[in-house]
Amino acid sequence: MVEIADKSGPVFHMVDGAPSPVAPYSHAVEQDGWIFVTGQMPSIDSDQGSIYPEGIEAQTHQVFTNLKQVLAGLDLTLEHVLTMRVFLLHFDRDYHGMNAVYRSYFSPGRYPARTCVGVTGLAKGALVEIDLVARRPSSPIFS
């Protein structure tokens, strides 16, 4: 993992093995125990030239795989996630399929706060993108 920070500022994380960014951004930025994870695409590996899986369910699973990989690189899991934003290319068509997959990654009653919106386009023709905010357990909110 590559980290860039000064002593008082944020830490900019690039996680080894996580999908390569499709634009100039960090995988995550951390400040005072707050972790802001960049929206993840359904890339199958760190090669952004790879083809996305077919269909909203497969793409949503792959996005979660990528989010979990970034979190793991920061010694975190989905249990540390407080809020998520979901972006869908075809909202009406894919909302229920995405939700079925989304639900499977959390224990009932332990869902993060969430926003889900339809968009007119996502990078490289993806059907779904998800970003999140997490908090380190040693931070006051978990005490």
- Structural domain that includes position 136: 2-142
Residue 78: CATH number of its domain: 3.30.1330.40
pTM to 2 decimals? 0.89
pLDDT digits (tens, 9 = 90+) for 19-41: 988 889 999 999 999 999 999 99
Distance CA 77, CA 96 (A): 24
* Domains in the chain, number: 1
Alpha helices, DSSP H only, in 53-113?
A: 56-73, 91-103
Q: Vertex 5, ends 114 and 26: CA angle to 5°?
A: 45
Sign of CA dihedral 78, 81, 83, 87: negative
pLDDT digits (tens, 9 = 90+) for 65-80: 999 999 999 999 999 9
Quote the tokens at residue 25.
Answer: 């951004």
